[in-house]
Structure 1
Amino acid sequence: MSNPGAHNSNVIESFQQMVDVLAAGARPRQEWRIGTEHEKFGFVLPDAAGPQRRAWSSPPYAPQGIEALLRDLAGENGGARWQEIIDRDALIGLKGAADAKGCSISLEPGGQFELSGAPLASLHETAAEMDRHFVSIRKPCNELGIGFAPIGFHPTATRADIPWMPKSRYAIMRNYMPRVGTLGLDMMLRTCTVQVNLDFGSEADMARKMRVSLALQPVATALFASSPFYEGKPNGLLSNRAQVWTDTDNARSGMPHLFLRDGFSFAAYVNWLLDVPMYFVTRDDRMIDVAGCSFRAWLDGRDLPGLEGERPTIGDFEDHLTTVFPDVRLKQFLEMRGADAGSPAMMLAQSALWTGILYDDATLHAAEKLVLEHGWDDYSAIRAAVPRTGLDTPWGQGDLRGVAARMVELATDGLRARACRDAHGQDETRYLDPLREIVSGGPTQAEAWLAAYHGRWKGDVTHIFTEAAV
């Protein structure tokens, strides 16, 4: 989730101002970029375990935990690479500077460590950025006796096992989530995802990309499933993370049919957003809890508790944008949000899949034709099924593995058309190799983990931490 940022204090005087916030994201093709965000669970290494630190447990914020890691990274190169982000005297993230400009590091509620990558021109640059990040955390992690593993749902911990991070918005969400769903606290504490952020050229281009990517997001969920364990045992699911999202807060998540309709626009998204209940308002670097209140009513002149006489600003609207969680989220770019975190190769493959499908006109047109072979209700139905049945979910005369294979083929065409080559002359299609193996009949990450659990691990799921470690 987002780190705090600069607040635009201009008062909202018209609906169009909010539409303009989104419209400002439109960019010419030559400026389209790829931004990859990935999360990972921390764990205590067995050699560092003791009376207060159990092996494989989640590391605390402090001492000798997440805060110390952030401070170590903040000191890299004499402090030139990162600027500290402070929330009520707590260090809760880092903003990149110098050669890390455009990146940020943030904390999810349970200490999941997230790199929000810079907007980059090619997947080759994304791969290099990811490598640099993993290298940069290994030395301080070893000194602290902790490691990190990207997995979609925590394989062993209960909610009570995981420490909460000292971030103001999380305290507000923690109180609100149980009012709107049964699994919101699991989403906060026990899930990790990978997402890619991609640009659009115009409102019409945004709408095309939204329809294609939102409809196909459940297929991506099945393809990238990597969370088959719950508190140390298999629980019959392949993506427990995706299952959690079915009962987190359905007013702000899922696959709103509005997004799939002809005529979808920036204004339509703003109208939807205004009816999503609020979480907080920021004033004087302090977050005020207004959870459940209506942004639309505030715009219409109704006071919020604790903010009597205050009028909503552009900054308030921009904050509200970050508190909705549809499977594809619109900001000044589109965020693909349907995948479990997984191996570095699979996280790169997720960026490659959507870049290939959405960034080439001919490929996007072919993907639209693929999507239109079924009605929108069919896509909503498979979203509910894929956490359990994955690529074996029935689809037409076959199953989703066939659709996934067509998506990988389209992405290959799109990346080939981009013709972005590295120093060795290789194009970006090689980042799809893990997906080609799966759609050809190989196991998904979840299926591979389950085979290990029933085989060489002999029922001990803690082996996943070392095998998934980055």
Structure 2
Amino acid sequence: MTTKSSDEDPAGRILRRLSDAAEHVSGICFKTGPPSRVGVELEWTTHRAALPAAHLRPSELRQALGPHAPAVLGNRDPAPLPGGGTVTLEPGGQVEISSAPAGSPAALHAAMAADQAYLADLLARSGISLGDSGLDPHRPPVRILDTPRYAAMQHAFDRAGNPSGHTMMCSTAGLQVCLDAGTESRAAARWDAVHAVGPPLLALFATSRAHAGRDTGWASGRMRAWHGIDRRRSGPVPAGGDPPERWARYVLDAPLLCVRRGDGRWDAPEGVTFADWIGGALPEPPTVDDLEYHISTLFPPVRPRGYLEVRYLDAQPGGEWIAPVAVLCALLADDALTDSARDLAAPAAGRWWDAARDGLADPVVAACAADIADLACRHLDRTGLPRPVRDLVAGVVGRRLDHAGAAAA
């Protein structure tokens, strides 16, 4: 952890009051302005194509990714992918592409589709394939990356006797959509709408029923794992009131997952929250940099990071990732659509557990999913996506709804 304080180093400023921390959280996490950009993070489990149940070694991924291998694999100067995306790696060997912010869904799709195809081909040359669901269907969780952060995370989950934490770290793969928060007058409405449509979209695009060779019994076993860790870290930000205030309280009340130290041992004391740290629970006080790092260890379904990071979607097979992205972008295309989406989803608002467990078998969630899917598909032209891509999106959505209807019958 950093303890120096200097006017020339804002990140090193020591935090001694809860109000100062809350003010900083609100300032960096809710940046308002006209919504114009969209980004995405695509994550996949990785497998030996000939033996998908075998665990990969870091050296295999380092060799396969070549100049695009991330720093965690020892590459000091990672090269971006041709479409501008950057590659990162998760503890269990999941590979992720993070896009640059795009000015439209069409530009985002063009860049990321190219990067996805490039990455898949690059890995295939080394006999490695990308998974197509939100949870590893073949293997139990095994951490293959050894970093102070990941070691501290595993220690915290093991200490709590929480196997969900290990599954979350090593076996899950998500689709994250990054959206501008919106203007100051509309930011709260967009925040509420993105949360309200969460359970229906989680259920509509759930892909992670199987894990380690068995049926989990959950439509989204991935979200079951995330729900299974400390709700103060992974539960939704409480509804009601002012979003920046709610988020600041969430951040301060969350327990520390790791505390950075020079000796490489980042284990956090059990039960100590960031508010406790400011109150003197640790020998040295926290800094602004420590606060921002703490925020990176919090995983609610929607996380504000200067933009809205939607985290409740499972990874999708092949190029179908554009379907949930397009649906979200259509629902947020203007104020009237945003408000309509929020109202249509209202009966299912807060039903995160039901949506993850039962998916579209939950009648309330299913009815809301059908309503907001219809609204989005009628306005896909607002995304600017080419007609063939819009047809793909509508086809994916229709197939998911039809499959749910057939199962219910």
The TM-score with structure 2 as length reference comes to 0.85
The structure-2 alpha-carbon separation of the partners of 1:430 and 1:105, relative to structure 1 and needing over 3 Å to count, comes to: same
Structure 2 distance, partners of 1:339, 1:205, is 24
Instruction: Write the letter of the residue equivalent to 1:171.
Output: A
1:308-387 map, 5 Å? 308-309=283-284, 311-372=285-346, 374=347, 379-380=349-350, 382-387=351-356
Aligned to 2:246: 268
| Residue 204 (structure 1) shift | 4.6
1:57 — aligned with what?
54
1:373-407 CA distances to partner (integer Å, 9 max, x unpaired)? x3xxx533x32223342212122xxxx33321211
- Cα displacement (A) at 1:364: 0.5
Aligned positions, number: 392
Aligned position for 2:62: 67
State the SS of the aligned residue for 1:335: strand
256, 260, 266: which one aligns with 1:278: 256
Pick from 30, 33, 48 the counterpart of residue 27 of structure 1: 33
Unmatched runs of 5 consecutive residues or more in structure 1: 1-5, 47-53, 75-83, 448-470
Alignment of 1:289-308 (within 5 A): 289-292=267-270, 293-300=272-279, 302-304=280-282, 308=283
Check conservation: 2:256, 2:273, Cα contact below 8 A: yes
Unaligned runs of 5+ in 2: 1-8
Cα distance in 1, alignment partners of residues 133 and 367 from structure 2: 25
Aligned partner (choices 354, 358, 361) of residue 392 of structure 1: 361
Report what 2:74 is aligned to: 91
Q: Map 1:83-122 onto structure 2 (within 5 A).
A: 84-86=70-72, 90-91=73-74, 101=84, 103-122=85-104
- Where in structure 2 are the equivalents of 1:185-204 lying within 5 Å? 185-204=166-185
Deviation at 1:368, TM superposition (A): 2.6
Hey, what does 1:403 align to over in structure 2? 368
- State the Cα distance separating 1:251 from its structure 2 match: 1.6
Q: How far does the alpha carbon of each residue in 1:135-181 deviate from its partner, in whole angstroms, 9 at most, with x for none?
A: 3224442332221123111112123xx34212321111011013443
AA matched with 1:370:
L
% of aligned pairs identical? Answer: 25
Q: Distance in 1 between matches of 2:102 and 2:307?
A: 13
- Which residue identity does 2:111 align to in structure 1? E
Aligned-pair distance for 1:122?
Answer: 1.8
Q: Provide the residue aligned with 2:4 in structure 1.
A: none
Matches within 5 A, 1:119-130: 119-130=101-112
Instruction: Check 1:431–1:140 CA distance in 2 against 1; reply closer, same or farther (3 A cut).
Output: closer
Shift of 1:20: 1.5
The 1-side partners of 2:331 and 2:265 are apart by 39
Q: Is structure 2 residue 220 aligned with structure 1 residue 239?
A: yes
Distance 1:218 1:250 in 2: 16
Cα distance change of structure 1 residues 431 and 360 upon mapping to structure 2, 3 Å threshold:
farther
1:93–1:105 contact (8 Å) kept in structure 2: no
- Determine helix, strand or coil for the equivalent of 1:288: coil
Do structure 1's residue 178 and structure 2's residue 173 form an aligned pair? Answer: no
TM-score (norm 1): 0.75
Q: Deviations over 1:405-447 (max 9, x none)?
A: 21122223554345x255xxx4974452234323551359xx8
Q: Specify the code of the residue in structure 1 equivalent to 2:274.
A: F
Q: Distance in 2 between matches of 1:379 and 1:200?
A: 20
Matched residue SS, 2:259: strand
> What is the CA RMSD across the aligned residues, in angstroms?
2.9
Question: Between Structure 1 and Structure 2, which shows a larger proportion of strand residues?
Answer: 1
Q: CA 1:410–1:144 in structure 2 vs 1: closer, same or farther (change >3 Å)? A: same
Cα 1:143–1:427, aligned 2, differ >3 Å: closer, same or farther?
Answer: closer
Once the two structures are superposed, residues 65-123 of structure 1 have per-residue CA deviations (whole angstroms, 9 ceiling, x without a partner) of 1222333435xxxxxxxxx525xxx437976659655x321111100001111111122
Q: 2:138 aligns with which of 132, 156, 166?
A: 156
Structure 1 contact 33–121 (Cα < 8 Å) conserved: yes
In structure 2, what is the equivalent of residue 441 of structure 1?
402
* Contact 1:367/1:410 (8 A) holds in 2: yes
> Aligned to 2:113, what secondary structure does the other structure show?
helix
1:176-210 per-residue CA deviation (whole Å, 9 max, x = no partner) reads 01344341111111111111011112455332222
Q: Which runs of 4+ in 1 moved over 4 A?
A: 92-101, 283-287
Shift of 1:43: 1.0
